[in-house]
A and B are shown apart, each in its own frame.
Chain A
Amino acid sequence: MSTEDAGRAVPVVAEDWNPTAGPDPLVRAKHGLIGAQVSRLDGPLKVRGEARFAAEYVMDGMVYAALRYSTIARGRIAALDTSAAEDADGVVLVMTYRNAPRMQPPPLFLTDPKAAGGSDLPVMQDDSIHWNGEPVAIVLAETQEQADHAATAIEVEYESSPPRTFEEARAHPRTPDSLVGQPVEVLVGDAEAALIDAPRSVDLTYRTPRHNHNAIEPHAVTLGWDGDDLIVHDASQGVTGHAWTFAQVFGIDEEQVHLTSPYVGGGFGGKTLWSHHLVGAAASKLAGRPVRVTLSREGVYRLVGGRTITEQRVAIGADDDGHFKALIHTGISTMTPHNALAEQFTFPARHMYATETLKTDQQVVDLDMLSNSFMRAPGESVGTFALESAIDELAIELDLDPIELRIRNEPDKDPSTGLPYSSRHIVDAWRAGAERFGWAPRAQPGTRREGDWLIGTGCATATYPYHRFPGGAARITLDKTGQATIAVPANDMGMGTSTTQTIVTADRLGLPLERVTVAYGDSSFPGNLLAGGSSQTASIAGAVISAQRALVKQLLALAGDESPLAGLTAEEVGGRDEGLCELADPTRWESYAEILNWAGRDQVTVTASASDPAEMQAYSMHSTGAIFCQVRVNAITRETRVDRVLGSYDCGRIINAKTAASQFRGGIIMGIGLALMEDTNFDERTARIMNPSLAEYHVPVHMDVPAIELMWTDIPDPYAPAGARGIGEIGITGVAAAVANAVYNATGRRVRDLPITLDKLL
C-alpha cells in the first residue's frame, strides 16, 4: 500500500483537542467528495413538493389564525370592539391584550446563548403600542378565509403621539452596550490627528436605507399544546433557540417544547422568533386547539425586523504612496430600546487594512419602530459599501489603481487586535480575479460609451468574519449495516447545509455519501446551533470531530481480540472504506458493520460536545474576497444595469462547489439589490412601512442579474474545522461598493446614498 493510499484514512483528534492545537485532520485529507459538485440531497423531495414546510403541517383539530396590526406607532389602544369578529362565521377565538394569557417577554438575542427574541417587548400584554404594525389581535377560525375576514371586523381606536423621527432623534444618540458582544469603540493611536497630518485624505459620509426581509417562504408556524408540552412545526433558523425562548415565555421547561423545522424557504437572518410565534401559541392555549399562523407578505413587514438605516463616516489619511496613516469609520444607526442589534457596519475597518492609526465607533438613536434585526451580513453588507467606496475615492484622489491601493495596505497582522490571521490570501484572490475579469487601468470617468450607454468598471473588497459559537454538539448513531446518522440541531433554510455536512461526515468517517444521514432541524437534538453568522459549517464540523472521537473509542472497545484493530488506540486509527484502519498500516482494517456484528450490537450511539472555539481568541479569522463588476448607465435616462460580476473569494476550503456557488451567487444578487433598488419606504409621519409587498419593494428581477463568475482560492484554514470558514454572508458584501465604484467610473458621479436610483444620476 502506497503512502498516499495510507493517507486516505482520516485520523481522529487527540483528547481535549481544539483547533489551536493543530489542524482538523480532515484539512489534510486530499481525497473524498469535499470540494466536488454535489447536488442538494433534498432537492428531488423539494422539486416533487414532498418537503413539508411549516405552513403545510396539519394537526388534529387545527384552526387558522389571522392577525390585526396596529396602524399607529406610539400610543395606546383607546377602544377595542371584537364583538363583530367573535360573531363572524367560523370564529373560535379573538385574542387581544384583554384576554391573552400572561407571558414573560421573550429573552433578547445575545442575553443568553439560546435567546432568540428579536425584541424583548412584552407581546399583547397591555394596551400600549410601540410600533406601527404591532399585533393587536389574533383571530382563530375554522378556515383561513374566515379568520382573515373576521380580523377586518375588529374595531380599534387609538390614542397616538407622533413617532420620533430620525432627524429629531439624532440630536440625542446613545452608545449601544456592545456590537454583537464586541466593544463599540476601537482606537489605535490618534486617528483624528493623523488624518489632519496626512498629506492625502478623504473624509466622506455614506448613507444606506432600511431593508426588509423577503424570503420566498413568508413566516409561518403550526403549533399545538399537549398538556403543558408545546409541539411546534416552525420555519426557523435556530431550532434550539426557538424552543428555549418559547419555554421562557410560557414558563415551561425547555424539554417541554418539541420544535422541528426541517425545511425552510429562506432565512437570511429573518427566520428567528417574532411575535406571531408567541401570540399563536398563546391563542392555541386559550382555544385548546392547534393553530396555524401564516403571515401574509405584508405581515412579514409588520412583524419581522429588517435592516436599520445607517449614516457612516469614512475618513482615510494616506501618504503620497497611498499607505494609510489614519482609518476612521464611525456612524449612526437606529434601534429601539428593545433590541440588541446596532448593525456593526464598522467591523470591516477593524480587520482589513494596515493603518498607523485606527478609529471605529458607532452610535444609535431610538425610534418608535419594530426592532431591527439580522439581515444577511448585518454590518458588513452596508459597512463595506462605505469603506470600499471611500477607498475607491482615495485611489482616484491618488491617481492609483484601486487594487494596487488595497494591496499596498495589506496588513500582516490584525490592525485592531494585533492577532495573526489564521489564513489570509486576499492578495491572491485579487490577482486571480483581476486576471480572469480582465481588469485593466480604467478609462477616465464618463468617457467609455457604447451607443446610449456609458460603461464603467469597479471593484471592492468583500469580507465577513469566521464564527464558531460555543455549545455545539453532535450525536452519531452507527448501525450494524454500517449506516451512520448524525443528529445536530442545525438548520437548513435552503443553503444546502444538510448536503454539505453529509459530505464532511462521509469523508471524515470514511463512508460513501449514501451511508450517511444528517438529521437536523429538531430542538431535541443535543447542543445548540444557529444558522447565523456563517457559523454552521464549522460549528457542525467541530461537533462531529468530537463525536467521531467518541465513536472510534467505543468501536475500538467493542472490537474483539481477533479484530485486526485489536490493541490500537483512537490516535492510531482512522476512518476509511466504511471501517477503521491503522494509520501506520492500513491493511489492519475492519468494517464498521463487522465490528458491530462481532459485538452483537444493533447500533452504537455517542454524543459529544464540540471543543470551545479557542481559535477565535488566538487568531483573527476572516473570509475575504475581491468583487469586480461592469455596469452600464444610460446616458439619457441614467438607468443603471449591471453587465458582469466576478467574485474571487478566499473563504477557506469550499466543501460543496455547487451549493457554495449558489450561496455566493445569491449573495451577489442580494448585493445588486442593495446597490440599486432595495429601499423600505418608512413614512416618518406615522412610522409605517408603505411598500410592504414585492410589487413595490424592489428586489432584482432576472433581467437585472447578469452573468456572475465565481472563483475561490480553496485554501483550507488550518484553524477552522474542516478548514472551512463559512460562506453564507460574504456574497452580499462588497457588491454595493463595486457597483457604486463602477457607476462613478461610468458617469463621473459619486453616489454615496443607496440605492443608486436614476434620479441620483440625472
Chain B
Amino acid sequence: MIELTYARATDIDDAVRRATGGEGRYLGGGTNLVDLMRETVETPAALVDVTGLSQEITPTADGGLMIGAAARNTAVAENQAVRSGYPMLARAIVAGASAQIRNMATVGGNLLQRTRCTYFYDTDGSRCNKRSPGEGCDAIGGFNRNHAILGASAACVATHPSDMCVALAALDAVVHLRSASGARTVDLCDLHRLPEDRPDIETVLEPGELITAIELPPPNAAERSTYRKVRDRSSFAFALVSVAAALELDGDTVTGARLALGGVAHKPWRARRAEEVLRGQPATESAFLEAADVELAAAEPLADNAFKVELARRTLAGVLQQLTEGVRT
C-alpha cells in the first residue's frame, strides 16, 4: 500500500506549517487530486485538507470581491455579487464538470487542476514529460485533438482544463498566496506557466505555498461580458475552445476589451494582442475577426487540432459580435 498522512488544517498558518518541507499536497474538494491518486499519476506522502479554511465571499474596500480559496465552485456561481458583477465567472463555473463535482470542488483547487491529456493519465502505457520530465511526449505524435495551439513546446502540448480560470484571467483576478516566508499576490494571468522544457512545473507557486483567496477587481463592463464554451457534447466535456470576453463601447467604437481563451494553451490564455488591436476600432465583425487573427497568428497547430485556430477565431469574433448587439449567449 502507498502510505500517506492526512491532516485537516485548522487555519492558514497550520496548513502552511504542515505542508512545509514535506512532500505534502493541499487537498480541496479532491475532485481532481483524488482521481490522479487513484490512477497513480500523483502519489503524495501527505495530504493537508484545506477545505476548512475560508469559504467567505466578501466585498473588498475598493468595490471588488474577495473569494476564500475553500469556497465551493457552486457557492461562487450562485453568489449574487458574482452573478451581477462578474456574470462571465458564474457562467464559466457552471459550464464546467457536473453539479455534483462543482458542489465539491474548491476555487483554490480549480486553479491547480491538471491537464486531461490522456497520455498524462496513462501511467503504465505512455510517455509524458509532465509526469516524468525528460521521458518524452506521446501526445505530440498521437491523439492531440484537444491539445494546445498556443504557447506549447516540444516537451508538452497539454492544455489547462479549467473554465473558471479563463474567466478569472479576463477579469484580472489576483491570487493571494501564503507560505512560510510570508504572504504575496500574483496576477491570475501570471500564476500558470507555459510548458517550455519543464511541463511538470505548472505554476509559479513555491513548494508549500498555499492559495488563500482570489481577489476580483471592481466590476467593469459586466453587462457586456460573457463566457462561451465550445465542446463536443452539451455537458460534461472539456472545452475545445472557450472565450471569456468583456467589451467596452463608446457608441460604435471599442474603448476596451478583456479577452481570454480556454482550451488552447497550457494556461488560461489572456488575448492581449487582440485587446490592443481592438482598442479604438469600430465594433464590427471584420474588426473582431482581425483582432482574432492577430492573436492567433502565433498558433502552431498539431496534426489533429488545426480546427481550433478557426474555431477560436470564429468563437471570439462571434462572442464579440453578440456582446456588441447586447445579446449574451
Is the Cβ of A641 less than 8 Å from the Cβ of B315? no
Mostly helix, strand, loop or mixed at chain B's interface?
A: loop
- A310–B311 Cα distance when bound, in Å, is 28
Q: Which of A71, A146, A152, A696 contacts B118 (CB 8 A)?
A: A696
* A-side contacts of B141, CB under 8 Å: 685
Q: Which of A145, A146, A452, A641 contacts B234 (CB 8 A)?
A: A641
Is the Cβ of B142 less than 8 Å from the Cβ of A704? no
Is the Cβ of B318 less than 8 Å from the Cβ of A762? no
* A-side contacts of B311, CB under 8 Å: 637-638, 758-759, 762
Residue of B nearest to A759 (CB): B307
Residue of B nearest to A700 (CB): B233
* B-side contacts of A641, CB under 8 Å: 234
Q: Which of B116, B124, B126 contacts A695 (CB 8 A)?
A: B116
Chain A proximity of B41: nearest CB distance (Å): 12
Chain B stretch 1-42: residues in CB contact (< 8 A) with chain A: 1-2, 40
- A88–B1 Cα distance when bound, in Å, is 8
Q: Which of A52-60, A169-177, A492-500, A675-683 contacts B (4 or more CB under 8 A)?
A: A675-683
Q: Which of A11-19, A515-523, A686-694 contacts B (4 or more CB under 8 A)?
A: A686-694
Chain A proximity of B125: nearest CB distance (Å): 4
A410 interface residue (CB < 8 Å to B): no
Q: How many residues of B contact A (CB 8 A)?
A: 32
* A690 with B124, Cβ < 8 A, contacts A685-B141, A762-B310 known: no
Is the Cβ of A703 less than 8 Å from the Cβ of B234? yes
Is the Cβ of A683 less than 8 Å from the Cβ of B142? yes
Interface size, A (range): 35 or more
* B-side contacts of A338, CB under 8 Å: none
Q: Which of B2, B138, B230, B233 has the most CB of A within 10 A?
A: B233
Q: Which of B40, B230, B318 contacts A152 (CB 8 A)?
A: B40
* A-side contacts of B121, CB under 8 Å: 693
B252 interface residue (CB < 8 Å to A): no
- A757–B307 Cα distance when bound, in Å, is 11
Is the Cβ of B118 less than 8 Å from the Cβ of A690? yes
- A149–B121 Cα distance when bound, in Å, is 17
Is the Cβ of B118 less than 8 Å from the Cβ of A132? no
* A-side contacts of B307, CB under 8 Å: 758-759, 762
* A681 with B143, Cβ < 8 A, contacts A690-B122, A695-B116 known: yes
Is the Cβ of A690 less than 8 Å from the Cβ of B310? no
B232 interface residue (CB < 8 Å to A): yes
A1 interface residue (CB < 8 Å to B): no
- A757–B233 Cα distance when bound, in Å, is 9
Is the Cβ of A696 less than 8 Å from the Cβ of B116? yes
Is the Cβ of A637 less than 8 Å from the Cβ of B118? no
- A225–B248 Cα distance when bound, in Å, is 75
- A637–B138 Cα distance when bound, in Å, is 29
Is the Cβ of B233 less than 8 Å from the Cβ of A677? yes
* A149 with B235, Cβ < 8 A, contacts A637-B318, A685-B142, A758-B230 known: no
Chain B proximity of A314: nearest CB distance (Å): 27
A698 interface residue (CB < 8 Å to B): yes
- A474–B124 Cα distance when bound, in Å, is 49
* A-side contacts of B116, CB under 8 Å: 695-696
A702 interface residue (CB < 8 Å to B): yes
A192 interface residue (CB < 8 Å to B): no
- A691–B117 Cα distance when bound, in Å, is 10
Is the Cβ of B125 less than 8 Å from the Cβ of A677? no
* A690 with B235, Cβ < 8 A, contacts A636-B318, A637-B314 known: no
Is the Cβ of B1 less than 8 Å from the Cβ of A681? no
Q: Which of A88, A146, A702, A762 contacts B235 (CB 8 A)?
A: A702
Q: Which of B138, B231, B314 contacts A636 (CB 8 A)?
A: B314
Chain B 245-274 interface mask (CB, 8 Å, partner A; 1/0): 000000000000000000000000000000
Chain B proximity of A698: nearest CB distance (Å): 5
16 pairs of residues in contact across A and B, judged by CB atoms under 8 Å = A89-B1, A146-B1, A149-B1, A452-B318, A637-B314, A639-B231, A677-B233, A685-B138, A686-B126, A688-B122, A690-B119, A690-B142, A691-B118, A758-B232, A762-B307, A762-B310
Question: Residues on A close to B: CB < 8 A?
Answer: 71, 88-89, 132, 145-146, 149, 152, 452, 636-639, 641, 676-677, 681, 683, 685-686, 688, 690-691, 693, 695-696, 698, 700-704, 757-759, 762
Question: Residues on B close to A: CB < 8 A?
Answer: 1-2, 40, 116, 118-119, 121-122, 124-126, 138, 141-143, 145, 230-237, 240, 307, 310-311, 314-315, 318, 329
